[in-house]
Amino acid sequence: MKTMGIILKTEKQIETIRRSGQAATATLQRMGEAVKPGVATSELDRIARKMIRGFGGTSSFLGYRPTFHPPFPATICASINDEIVHGIPSPRRTVAEGDILSLDFAMIIDGYHGDTAFTFPVGRVSPEAQRLLDVTRASVFKGIEEAKPGNRIGDIGHAVQKHAESHGFSVVRDLCGHGIGRSLWEEPQVPNHGSPQRGIRLKPGMVIAIEPMVCAGAHRIRVLDDEWTTSTADGRLSAHFEHTVAILSDGPEILTENPDLWGSNGLPG
Ligand code: MG
């Protein structure tokens, strides 16, 4: 069923996205266990490819080609420190003690995408980096709490923005979350900033990816010469966390929920 370009999902379709979402978060967790000083981002990509095969799924990202970009050449996005999103894995990109590493991963099972991201500390990180991780992670849940029928899309962005900015951070404006289903990117766009009670009204059956990108400094971005990697313009740290969420009649359900990775209530676990 379609309303204004937004594809509402049946219970059965949501069940399929739950399966791809659970496979995606299990893969993300496995990659996270391998994050340590010296690991190459290509090694994490290899782990993801192997996990996808084990689940009998396919990659959402490999070969993905929106307008104005070359096809994405890998299975995961691995973005280090000031890189916000869309970093390309490479044997030459290794992480060091004190780095933060954002891993974004989506996969398809039975035709439906599940999409999730998490920023991992590499060994011991600075107090500011840890605070950025904690605030960004919590901001996802601030957004999710607003993902319920009767609210509007702006309620989600407002809650995310308010939480991030109240801690002295900024939210990226030029990139946003999205509807998800048979396509990785569907309507509606889900901004991480906004005003309460503005934008489209949320309805049961919508499935959206809520994915705040929060910056220690200013929110301005720049895209590197590889035409994918997106960094903060000021070179300061950025973190990215993402859940795929179904809007049900009684509220949100996190389809990529994983207490072992996220903690039981989204607080540091
Ligand atoms: Mg996404």
| 38 C-alpha to ligand 1 centroid (Å) | 27
**Distance from residue 209's CA to the centre of ligand 1 (Å):** 5
Query: How far does the centroid of ligand 1 lie from the alpha carbon of residue 112, in Å?
Result: 13
Record the pTM. 0.96
Helix 41-55 crosses helix 11-33 at what angle (to 10 degrees)?
Answer: 140
Q: CA 92, 98, 229 angle in degrees (round to 5)? A: 45
What is the CA(81)–ligand 1 centre distance, in A?
19
**Helices in the chain by DSSP H: which ranges?**
11-33, 41-55, 127-145, 153-166, 259-262
Q: What is the residue type of 189?
A: Q
**For residue 259, what are the contacts with CB-CB under 8 A and spacing of at least 6?**
269
Distance 29 CA to ligand 1 centre (A): 17
CA of 36 to the centre of ligand 1 (A): 25
> Within its chain, how far is the Cα of 230 from the centroid?
14
N-to-C CA span, the chain: 38
Rg, Å, the chain Cα set: 17
Ligand 1 center from residue 243 Cα (angstroms): 8
Using CA atoms, how far apart are residues 148 and 153, in angstroms rounded to an integer? 10
**CA angle, residues 40, 43, 47, in degrees to nearest 5:** 150
Q: How does DSSP assign 153-173, residue by residue? A: HHHHHHHHHHHHHHTT-EE-S
Q: What is the pLDDT of residue 67?
A: 79
Torsion region of 257: left, alpha or beta (phi above 0 gives left; psi -120 to 50 gives alpha): beta
Contact 207, 246 (CB under 8 A): yes
Give pLDDT tens digits along the chain (269 positions). Answer: 555 699 999 999 999 999 999 999 999 999 999 999 999 999 999 999 999 999 999 999 999 988 778 999 999 999 999 999 999 999 999 999 999 999 999 999 999 999 999 999 999 999 999 999 999 999 999 999 999 999 999 999 999 999 999 999 999 999 999 999 999 999 999 999 999 999 999 999 999 999 999 999 999 999 999 999 999 999 999 999 999 999 999 999 999 999 999 986 544 43
pLDDT of residue 268: 43
Residue 26 is predicted with a pLDDT of: 98
